Amino acid sequence: MSTTAAAELRHQFVEVDGARLHYVIAGSGPLMLFVHGFPQHWYAFRHQIAEFAKDYTVVAVDLRGVNLSSRPKNLRDNGVWVAADDMKCLVQHLGFSTCILVGHDWGTAVGYSFALHHREMLDRLVVMSGSHPATFDRELHYNESQIAGGKHWLRLRRPDSATKLAANDFEALKRTFAEHPFFTKEDLETYLAAWRQPGAIEGMVAWYHAEGWGPTEGLSPAHGNYVHEVSPQTITVPTLVIYGDRDKFLANQNYDGLDKYVSDLTIRRIEGGSHWILDEHPTLTNRYIREFMDRTQSQDQAAQ
Would you state the pLDDT for residue 301? 78
- 112 falls in which pLDDT band (50, 70, 90)? very high
Predicted pLDDT at 1: 44
Alpha-carbon span 44 to 21, nearest angstrom: 16
Q: Which residue has the higher pLDDT, 135 or 301?
A: 135
Q: What is the mean pLDDT of residues 106-110?
A: 98
- Provide the pLDDT for residue 5: 46
Please state, in angstroms and as integers, the Cα–Cα distance from residue 165 to each residue in 101, 159, 196, following that order. Answer: 29, 12, 11
- Residue 197 sits in a domain whose CATH number is 3.40.50.1820
**Number of folded domains that form the chain:** 1
pLDDT in tens, 258-281: 999 999 999 999 999 999 999 999
**In this model, does residue 4 exceed pLDDT 60?**
no
Those residues with Cβ within 8 angstroms of residue 118's Cβ, 6 or more apart along the chain or in another chain: 84, 87, 88
* pLDDT tens-digit readout, 138-170: 999 999 999 999 999 999 999 999 999 999 999
Kindly state the percentage of the chain with pLDDT values over 70.
98
Distance CA(278)–CA(158), nearest Å, equals 28
Q: Which residues form the domain of 222?
A: 3-303
Rg of the Cα atoms in the chain? 18
Cis status, amide bond into 232, omega within 30 of 0: yes
- Rounded Cα–Cα distance for residues 112 and 100 (Å): 12
Confidence label for 3 from pLDDT (cuts 50, 70 and 90): very low
